[in-house]
Structure 1
Amino acid sequence: MSTSHVLAAAGVDLSYGATHAVRDAHIGLAKGEVTAITGASGSGKSSLLYCLAGVLPVTRGRIEFEERDYADLDDEEISTLRRERFGFVFQYGELLPELTVAENTALPLRLAGQKKKPALQAAAEVLDRLGIADLGDRRPSQVSGGQSQRVAVARALVHRPAVVFADEPTGSLDSANAAAVLREFLDLARSQGTAVLLVTHDATVAAQADRTYSMTDGTLQPTGATV
């Protein structure tokens, strides 16, 4: 696999019994590059994302992060990888309701062992870059949908991960909020040199990526560079 990729997969299959969710997928993610996978619901794009993130074990094939094969990592090493080197943005944010916006944002740093004060300072800086520094003391129930998704983006990027996995990150937002959040998310990720894997059914979202793939019935096909 290419050494230019921070994360790469070759010949990946994922089966649930007789159902083939992913078939012989090949993909590479480069530093600072945004890659989008489009496809209808049930096409296998989210399943592939979770394989690449080390959440789902593959049935066949190889996945390497910084040239280390997932097959050579034990469960603890995979968990550490997801916690410290990866970030995640989900469709509905998945913020912890009992924590403030700042505490939610700082969570990856705290889980990695950083003390509270510097973790909250780092959180404040990334919230400021996303234009929501004034929301730090609020609870998730006290912010709008667009603001909540910006907090999810801040949490995904606060620890400067190598890769962010984003599964329909703007799917719960109206078009104006979706466009703004996506722009801010991708600008910040690119500025940090973070690779982004973006799964979406929305062609306008995919058009913001540097490279695109389509997925149909578990089969992944490159559709080219968009930028």
Structure 2
Amino acid sequence: MDSILRAEGVDLFYGTFQAVRSADFALERGEVAAIMGSSGSGKSSLLYCLAGVLPPSSGQVVFDDIELGALPDGELSALRRERLGFVFQYGELLPELTVQENAALPLRLAGISKDHADAVAAQVLGRLGLGDLLRRRTSKLSGGQSQRVAVARALVHRPDVVFADEPTGALDSANAETVLNEFLHLARRQKTAVVIVTHAPEVAAKADKQYTMSDGVLTQRVTV
């Protein structure tokens, strides 16, 4: 298969504390991978290494044959902005912007005109059931609606990989199921690979590939 992202022997230290221990990871184009573990297991730290947000203390992360650690800061920031997407547990939306403006933000940052960015954002939001809320302020949204906007923002520019850190952790079970299904359906439809960090087995079960993390050690799960 065609790899889009891999980690080789990644270690991450915070001072003298080792959060990630010799992690190896591989993600194919269009694949969904879940990293499951309890709080403090190191899974979010590994996610930020994979996304180029934190440089590993040793080892390497390679995205589309580009070693992230070898990129100057400006090029790394541009790569994250243009080719990666992010979904966080609490959405992290900008309250001063509308639903449509939040979703269109990656396109606007890439220099796309407002009219075109708004049109693309409206299309993606419509696929997530938010087509009638385009001009609503995000402060007026429910938790499930806010997370759908966050999903739209992460996918609107058709990134190669979306990194999702507990994307349904703040939702009740019914909303979590719905949002996750819509997220993964849209990602697979546009062939965007996804890395999901989660503590929930029911979330990890929806992935094509599952890893577990404990005390900084990453292990791939063999599913039958």
Fold match by TM threshold 0.5: yes
Q: Partner of 2:49 in structure 1?
A: 51
Q: Distance in 1 between matches of 2:119 and 2:111?
A: 15
Q: Which runs of 5+ in 1 are unaligned?
A: none
- Per-residue deviation at 1:182? 0.1
Amino acid at match of 2:63: F
- Paired residue secondary structure (2:91): coil
Q: Distance in 2 between matches of 1:4 and 1:33?
A: 10
After TM superposition, list the pairs within 5 Å mapping 1:82-161 onto structure 2.
82-161=80-159
- Per-residue deviation at 1:71? 2.3
- Paired residue secondary structure (1:92): coil
- Per-residue deviation at 1:225? 4.5
Q: Is the CA contact (8 Å cut-off) linking 1:25 and 1:219 kept in structure 2?
A: yes
- Under a length normalisation based on structure 1, what TM-score does the superposition of the two structures give? 0.97
- Count of residue pairs brought into register by the alignment: 224
Q: Distance in 2 between matches of 1:44 and 1:71?
A: 20
Report Cα offsets for 1:1-27 as digits up to 9, x if no partner.
xx7210111000000121000000000
Identical columns (%): 64
Q: Partner of 2:76 in structure 1?
A: 78
After TM superposition, list the pairs within 5 Å mapping 1:1-227 onto structure 2.
4-225=2-223
- Paired residue secondary structure (1:209): coil
Q: Is the CA contact (8 Å cut-off) linking 1:39 and 1:200 kept in structure 2?
A: yes
Amino acid at match of 1:143: L
Q: Distance in 2 between matches of 1:18 and 1:214?
A: 23
- Per-residue deviation at 1:224? 2.5
Report Cα offsets for 1:120-175 as digits up to 9, x if no partner.
00000000111111110000111111001000000000000000000000000000
Amino acid at match of 1:97: P
- Paired residue secondary structure (1:97): coil
Alpha-carbon RMSD: 0.9
- Under a length normalisation based on structure 2, what TM-score does the superposition of the two structures give? 0.98
Q: Distance in 2 between matches of 1:22 and 1:88?
A: 21
Q: Is the CA contact (8 Å cut-off) linking 1:210 and 1:225 kept in structure 2?
A: no
Q: Distance in 2 between matches of 1:91 and 1:135?
A: 21
Q: Distance in 2 between matches of 1:29 and 1:106?
A: 27
Amino acid at match of 1:160: R
Q: Distance in 1 between matches of 2:93 and 2:127?
A: 19
Q: Is the CA contact (8 Å cut-off) linking 1:87 and 1:164 kept in structure 2?
A: yes
Amino acid at match of 1:44: G
Q: Distance in 1 between matches of 2:223 and 2:144?
A: 28
- Per-residue deviation at 1:68? 0.8
Q: Which runs of 5+ in 2 are unaligned?
A: none
Report Cα offsets for 1:168-191 as digits up to 9, x if no partner.
000000000000000000000011
